[in-house]
Amino acid sequence: MLSQIPTYILSGMAITIAVTLVALPMGFVLGLTFALLRVYGGKFLSAIMAAYSTIMRGVPPLVLLFVLYFIISGVINLTPFWAGSLALGVVSSGYQLEIIRGALCSVGSTQMTAARAIGMSRAKAVRYIILPQALRLIIPSWSNEASVVLKDSSLVSALGVAEITRKSQLIGASTYKFLLAFLTAALIYFILVFLTNRLLDYVERKTRIPGFSHHSTL
């Protein structure tokens, strides 16, 4: 009887991972696009992107999730899984916009100047010179955002999506072993976050530019 609790909750893990794998890349694609517009898009687009990020980061994710869910489900008929995942992706895009913007700015305008000086267009300079450096710089903060999205995937349980948190609530209610159920959930989340961060640490090490480091050696 007790052994069925972890098994039942684990069966929600695939959904948790799936929600994350939709929301995180979607937040990245939107965040990257918006960050480029924010930094290189001119006054008007830059102002719009600044407002977008301020709003997205100024509202609790759960509230935003509901708002977006009702907007999305009002327009097209999506399952709670898809509506929830897309909404989380939109929420994450606001944060990823800021992460990527910071990296673009810290690569610096002088690299752009050097690229323009050999005849590159702005678009080529961004693609071949700025982005390859900026994307390396975002990895530590992006690792953080990945764990936030992974944990925030629990919010879609509020829409009835049967991921880890929802399954814990259900099995807790039917067995009255709430503490055990949620401890199991906590452990699974922790392991997922831990592995994600280790993976991204590895990516960071592998992509590090030889001789060029923001890490202090002191």
Footprint of another protein (CB under 8 A): 110-111, 113-121, 124, 128-129, 132-133, 136, 209-213
Of residues 122 and 198, the one with the C-beta less far from another protein: 122
Transcribe 74-114 into DSSP letters: HHS---HHHHHHHHHHHHHHHHHHHHHHHHHHHH-HHHHHH
- Cα separation, 152 vs 78, in Å, equals 20
Of residues 3 and 110, the one with the C-beta less far from another protein: 110
| Cβ atoms < 10 Å from Cβ of 196 | 18
Q: Give least dist CB 112 to another protein, A.
A: 10
Q: Give least dist CB 107 to another protein, A.
A: 8
Of residues 101 and 136, the one with the C-beta less far from another protein: 136
Of residues 6 and 140, the one with the C-beta less far from another protein: 140
Name the strand (E) or helix (H) holding 140.
helix 131-152
Q: Give least dist CB 62 to another protein, A.
A: 39
17 CB-contact burial (10 Å; exposed 0-12 / middle 13-18 / buried 19+):
middle
| Cβ atoms < 10 Å from Cβ of 160 | 11
Q: Give least dist CB 73 to another protein, A.
A: 44
